[in-house]
Chain A
Amino acid sequence: MAHPSTAVFERHLLIYRSLWRTTAFSFFLVPILYLVSIGMGVGEYVGRVGGFSYLDWIAPGLLATLAFQIGVSSSTYAVFVDFAWVGGLYVMRNTRVRINDMLAGWFLFVLVVLGLAVSVFLAVTAAIGAVHSIWTLLAPLVCALLAIACTALVAAFSATIRSDSYFPLLFRFAVVPTTLFSGVYFPVAAMPEYVQPLAYALPLWHGVELVRATMLGTTPAWPVAAHLGVLAAYLVVGYVLARQAFRKRLVD
């Protein structure tokens, strides 16, 4: 028999085969809409940023945003429903599948969806000439780290809450502000000094800096190791919290 993690992974792939339409637009089309609307439209006003056209400058930010959003939104309803309504995770508990397998299989699945979406976005940006460096090949790895760190944190959240009406609040109060103030559309340095530390504390900003450095061939705001360290810390904390939340939920 397959390894329990692989079995969990296969289950999610099987579900995705019938549910992929529910996220196809948001994961594949929406980032391109932002690129064209803001990059082209607003870019006309902005001119050049750091020596690059505005469209080229925000493209890496939008790619990191895509990874962030796939990470977050994958673990919202899917995880909540598996506990509260479908109960798939309770069924797994009665088999050889352990919490580590549930999470590993889930993360693996999120990586597959992420890989598809990132490939599409990179193909489009490369086609319009927004890719400036061979280091871009490393961008998917940064996206993977960012996405899994966020998906772990949100899985912990979704395993804890008892009503799905918390999700709109999560998006309005956490996800939307994060995407708008993490240096995707304008440098964090342009914000008032007292709010800048908030942006530096968010995982997305570190993802944006690293992806931008790879795609434009520039150096990020902090040393690469520092950016990676913050993202890795988010991943570890997210994983520990998710494991705790799953364990707590599975015993009741």
Chain B
Amino acid sequence: MVTMAIAHRLSARRAAAVLERNGKATRVGPSYWLLLVSGILEPLLYLLSIGVGVGQLIGGAVQYGDLAISYQSFVAPAMLAFCAFSGAFGESIFGFFSKLKFAGVVENQFAAGVRATEIVAGELVAATLRGAVYSLLFLGVTVAFGLVTLGAAVPTLAATVLIGAAFSALGLAISATLRGWQDFELVTTGQLALFLFSGTFAPIATYPPALQVIIEATPLYHAVELVRALSLGAAGQGTLVHAAYLAVMIPVCGYLAVRQVDRALRR
């Protein structure tokens, strides 16, 4: 990342200007804030419907490692990880796509001398912040419901920021490769598949072995397991693997994003 920054002569000031533009864009009308806050509504409703509602059908506790926990405590961390994921990923993939392809924002920034690296850095921070806002709001709800203790909330919040940064980088890398709105169906279906199969509502051990291997390779699974371990105070060595997976995503996907954006702008 450092060598890449030097090679591209990364200017923090110009990257910050990209971030600042994102901040100013949120001031246009109240609808953005309504959409932002309502972004946590969906995971919250899933927590109430599947976590609490279906949890009643389950009745007793479910086993998580050595812990016996209520089913809603099992689902809540997954919904929190999903908040971090959807806030950051949605902003970086859909938001950035329209800035790049339709609104001409990125083109203008490039013409004004802002480099692809700086654009990606600014957008990465902006999307990570949005993910963090989602996560903080949802974490507040889980703490209020007594599903996460206040002590566990701090490391959990840190984990959600890591998740947000990882998925922001991934979203930016994918965003620049999309051909048009017709590809969005593919992205939203992929997003939904991750949401449903990342050990969100049931441990992945309930699925066929072949499916388990695929799930273990996908990023949201690691995000869910990381948040679940930290929020339930059950972190172990495996937790480090999940965190490392997500941490590696940032430079790798960030690098790919810079290359894609650069290519898209020079076309």
**Residues of chain A at the chain B interface (Cβ within 8 Å):** 21-26, 29-30, 33-34, 37-38, 40-42, 44-46, 49, 54, 165, 168-169, 172-173, 176-177, 180-181, 185-186, 190-191
Contact = CB atoms under 8 A, between A and B. Distances in A.
A172 B44 CA distance: 11
B44 to A, nearest CB: 10
A46 B56 CA distance: 9
A168 B206 CA distance: 33
Contacts of B200: 37
Interface of B: 31, 34-35, 38, 41-42, 45-46, 48-50, 53-54, 56-58, 62, 71, 181-182, 185-186, 188-189, 192-193, 196-197, 200-202, 206-207
Contacts of A49: 57
Contact of B196 (A37, A46, A186, A190): A37
Contacts of A176: 41-42, 45
A21 B50 contact: no
Contacts of A190: 53, 56-57
Nearest to B201: A42
A24 B41 contact: no
A22 B182 contact: yes
Contacts of A23: 185
Nearest to B41: A172
Contacts of B71: 45
Contact of A21 (B38, B185, B207): B185
Nearest to B211: A36
A25 B186 CA distance: 7
20 contacts: A21-B185, A25-B186, A33-B196, A34-B196, A41-B197, A42-B50, A42-B202, A45-B71, A49-B57, A169-B35, A169-B38, A176-B41, A176-B42, A180-B48, A185-B49, A185-B53, A186-B49, A186-B53, A186-B57, A191-B53
A22 B189 CA distance: 11
B31 A165 contact: yes
A129 to B, nearest CB: 17
Contacts of B201: 37-38, 41-42
Contacts of A26: 185, 188-189
Given A23-B185, A190-B57, A185 B34 contact: no
A28 to B, nearest CB: 10
